[in-house]
Amino acid sequence: MQNELKLDRAIADPQTGFLSFPNPNGTSGFGPPEKLLFLETYQKTGNLAKAAKLVGVSVRIISSHMAADKAFKAAYDETLEAMVNELEQTMFERAKDPKGTLDRFGWLRAHKPGKYGPKSNPEGSGSKTEKLEQLFNKILDAEVVKPE
């Protein structure tokens, strides 16, 4: 598997439908069992790069297999959708807590963006309420980074 996967050598797994791409010596470094392990690890970690590293492959290999293996890409998309649904449920449950302000705004913003989404006011203009809303929107848009 130098630069491209050899589609003419692809073998579909009868159980998963995932493709394996055997090398000339008959081995496949990232076949159906590794793909299943990657998807399980991805669902647990929520981080594609970390999941790839934990199963011993690069993100580039994951990407090339997703491009060539439609069943693997579909399973990845299903895994991602399940993760998003789980997070939405958690956010909704926490939004019911009187202290769940960020979750409440996040849920409303996602489901009623016309009413609760960011406004198109230029930075620095508007009332104090609008400025607070702009700051709050920045907080919602910020990426949460956990130290490892």
Q: Given this model, what pLDDT does residue 41 score? A: 97
Q: Which residue type occupies 36?
A: L
Tens digits of residue pLDDT in 74-124? 999 999 999 988 988 888 888 788 876 787 777 788 778 888 787 655 555
- 135 against 87, higher pLDDT: 87
Instruction: Reply yes or no on whether the pLDDT at 21 is more than 90.
Output: no
Q: Given this model, what pLDDT does residue 146 score? A: 57
Reduced to 3 states (helix: H, G, I; strand: E, B; else coil), residue 31 is: coil
Inter-residue contact 92 to 105 (CB < 8 Å): no
